[in-house]
Amino acid sequence: MCDDHDHKGVTVWFTGLPCSGKSAIADRAAEILKDRGYKVERLDGDIVRQDLTRDLGFSKADRDENIRRVTFVSKLLTRNGVVVLTSFISPYAEMRDNARRQIGEFLEVFVKCPLDVCIERDVKGMYKKAIAGQIKEFTGISDPYEEPAKPELVIETDKENLAQSTDRLLQALKDRGYLD
């Protein structure tokens, strides 16, 4: 248990293809950190698009605006001592780099998973619709995903289970002084 008044805030920015495992790792890490007494906030692409960015579509301009707004919220939370766990595809390196500059205390986590495994995991059938041409500008199919050049952590979800991935994330945060 920690004293939540004196730990340093940080934004953990999970990026990766749809269905790579970003949300699962972020959700599990949030549970563990809350149990330990940390102030934690989860910002997830599906949830944020229901309120904060529901006016946006999926063009590059709208995706950039989505990430710009999430960056602003993450920056405010981080400077107030919150561990912010974001899970956004965030396909463009320029916007992730901008988030890093704006937020400062920032850990980029590349959730790496082969496209065929992501397609197998897709319970919503979004990849199937994108391959059939029913969804335009779908990351990994008809829109690019720019892999991070130098993420602080790479988690390969096809090679390790959720507990291993979460443990590696928590250790990375501890090694950088964000956790006791």
pLDDT tens for each residue of 80-102? 999 999 999 999 999 999 999 99
Residues 6+ away with beta carbon under 8 Å from 168: 153, 155, 160
Residue 46: predicted pLDDT: 84
Q: Cα–Cα–Cα angle for 159, 9, 105, nearest 5°?
A: 70
Residue 59: predicted pLDDT: 87
pLDDT tens for each residue of 103-127? 999 999 999 999 999 999 999 999 9
* Known active-site residue 74: no
List phi, psi (to 5°) of 44.
-115, 140
Measured distance CA(137)–CA(71) in Å, rounded? 22
CB 111 within 8 A of CB 155: yes
Residue 74: predicted pLDDT: 98
Residue 73: predicted pLDDT: 97
CB 142 within 8 A of CB 130: yes
Identify the active-site residue in 20, 90, 142, 165.
90
Measured distance CA(119)–CA(125) in Å, rounded? 8
Q: What are 41's strand-pairing partners?
A: 84
The DSSP 8-state label assigned to residue 9 in this structure reads: P
Measured distance CA(80)–CA(77) in Å, rounded? 5
- Residue numbers in the chain where pLDDT is lower than 50: 1, 4
Q: Which residue has the tokens 């495994």?
A: 117
Crossing angle of helices 162-175 and 22-35, in 10° steps, is 60
Alpha helices in the chain (DSSP H): 22-35, 45-48, 60-79, 93-103, 115-121, 126-131, 162-175
